[in-house]
Amino acid sequence: MIDPEQFLHALGLSDIAIERVVFEEGNVLKIDVTSVKAGCQCHRCGSWIEDFFALGEEISLRHLPMFGHQVFIVLRPKRYRCPHCEGRPTTTQPLDWDTPRSRMTKAFEQEVLLSLINSTAEDVSRKQGLGADAIEGILDRHVAEQVDWTGVAQLPILGIDEIALRQGHRDFVTIVSARLGDGQLTILAILADRTKATVEAFFKSIPKRLRRTVELVCADLHAGFLSAAKAVFGRRVAVCADRFHIAKLDRDGVESWRKKERRRLKRELPKTAYDALKNVHWILRKSDADLSADERRIRQRVFDLSPKLAQAHALSEALTALYEAPLTKGQGKRRLRA
């Protein structure tokens, strides 16, 4: 039997008591909670008020997954009435872990933001079961947030990555992340665009005591990011392109061959034979260790029909192995040339 206090601790949410836990179909876990916090600040005058008025409408907030289930926190927030303001307006009690105007907890939003590092919005949308609008809303809520540097002791590694949710419908935003001294990965800021000026201004806003602790800036291949880092940190700090975007280039090469060969095979093969080559796009993305027996059979069939695709895939895997090997810079260059 799960101890309620331990379960509450595992959730990482404060000022609540658990009323009911329900496992539903579709790997969904719903947790009904109630606030144990008394009072809140009046939204109009700012006074602390404790005149309970009523419970608000039930809301369901997406939280971090548990036991392989999507978790939803179900709450009827408390409303308090102000005795000081004219008309005695009511205010909904906020909780530390609740994000205003969102259907997600702050912890879940941070999880989504971390997932966007070295990934694409499309991949995160699929993995988290979120629509593009939901991810766009998370980014909008975190754009231009003021960074609280007081709890940061050092910033040995900084990361810069651009994200675009809907190509042609939305400008790029920039995610600035950091690997802190204790190894923890955290989001520092979401910048409104990807221009060199914006990124450079953010780097200059970092307190000097923390700028002195930066050892490495890792960015995608956008030239403005690399230039901004060099302009602020100079030669003292190493600036490099991150592994994800390097790997993406050679994966794109494999994908180009796959599309070209798919069109050829669709013309040349009988429909039943072509239809048997299903999910090749995702199969080619997987490592050998993650392939099922059926997926191995499909991949080998495709390679037999397309030796050029097999060669492109083999070269891509060889490059991946090179980056994972413990090589010096010189050894790596020689392997690349080979």
For residue range 106-149, list pLDDT tens digits in order: 999 999 988 888 777 777 888 888 887 888 888 888 776 678 89
Note whether residue 203 is domain-resident: yes
Question: Do 163 and 230 belong together in one domain?
Answer: yes
**176/232 same-domain check:** yes
Q: What one-character-per-residue DSSP string does 117-154 give?
A: TTS-HHHHHHHHT--HHHHHHHHHHHBTPPP--TT---
85 in a domain, yes or no? yes
Q: Note if the pTM is more than 0.85.
A: no
Q: Is residue 124 part of a domain?
A: no
The answer to whether residues 207 and 264 belong to one domain is no
pLDDT of residue 276: 85
**Residues spanned by the domain of 272:** 245-324
Q: Give the chain's residues under pLDDT 50.
A: 168-169
Strands (E), 129-268: 157-163, 173-179, 185-191, 216-219, 238-241
What is the structure's pLDDT at 207?
94
pLDDT at residue 12, as a whole number: 92
Q: Are residues 299 and 224 in the same domain?
A: no
pLDDT at position 169: 45
